[in-house]
Chain A
Amino acid sequence: DTEVTQTPKHLVMGMTNKKSLKCEQHMGHRAMYWYKQKAKKPPELMFVYSYEKLSINESVPSRFSPECPNSSLLNLHLHALQPEDSALYLCASSQGSYYYGYTFGSGTRLTVV
């Protein structure tokens, strides 16, 4: 299995809703990432979960919270989002070595209404 699986593929939520994005990989990668990508822009790092340690991009608002139940799963919990949070959310994973780059999922297209 050489994939990163993200669910759902599309999500529409209201500003008062609570929802979660799910990311799963079975490649034995020890690092997983959440990226946010606006249209025609490069991905922006939100969170890194590596070897049971969470690293946060300090510019990410607290209405986004990551959770890593185990080394194969990475969730992103969403609460009280704003319309400007509408974007493509990409999950990625990587092996321990820097050389291998990232394996990306196909993303969740999030629309906040």
Chain B
Amino acid sequence: AQTVTQSQPEMSVQEAETVTLSCTYDTSESDYYLFWYKQPPSRQMILVIRQEAYKQQNATENRFSVNFQKAAKSFSLKISDSQLGDAAMYFCAYRSAVDGGFKTIFGAGTRLFVKA
């Protein structure tokens, strides 16, 4: 079975600084997708960034980028120029491309605090 591990329950960053959130996963599958979701106190989960396992190039979305290390099964999220609005719970997620791909496995989450 697949697992997703986020080893940092909480992280803190100064406004305008850079922070990296860690995520590791375990799978025997070769075809899958990885995601980072953000859940602010307003509680709606928002997709931040995604990565296909077959792509070596790391995904980027504006201030958000990932470091995808397939062999190490690592998928970290880097937030550059942190803003107060980045404060939220961040979930790393794994989505298999088999069995219809309907099951997404979420990590336990990392709470990010942004200091002004």
Contact = CB atoms under 8 A, between A and B. Distances in A.
A101 B44 contact: no
Nearest to A100: B50
Interface residues of B, number: 26
Sorting the interface of chain A by its residue count into under 10, 10 to 19, 20 to 34 or 35 or more gives 20 to 34
B104 A50 contact: no
6 contacts: A50-B102, A98-B101, A99-B33, A101-B33, A102-B47, A103-B47
A48 interface: yes
Contacts of A43: 45, 91, 106
B45 A50 contact: no
A1 B60 CA distance: 25
A102 B104 contact: yes
Interface stretch (A18-26, A66-74, A104-112): A104-112
A70 B64 CA distance: 36
Given A42-B109, A101-B50, A107 B97 contact: no
B103 interface: yes
A40 B109 contact: yes
Contacts of B44: 104-107
Contact of A45 (B91, B96, B101, B103): B103
A85 to B, nearest CB: 18
A42 B33 contact: no
Contacts of A78: none
Contacts of A105: 44
Given A101-B35, A103-B47, 8 more contacts: A40-B109, A43-B45, A43-B106, A48-B103, A50-B100, A88-B43, A102-B45, A104-B46
A6 B45 CA distance: 13
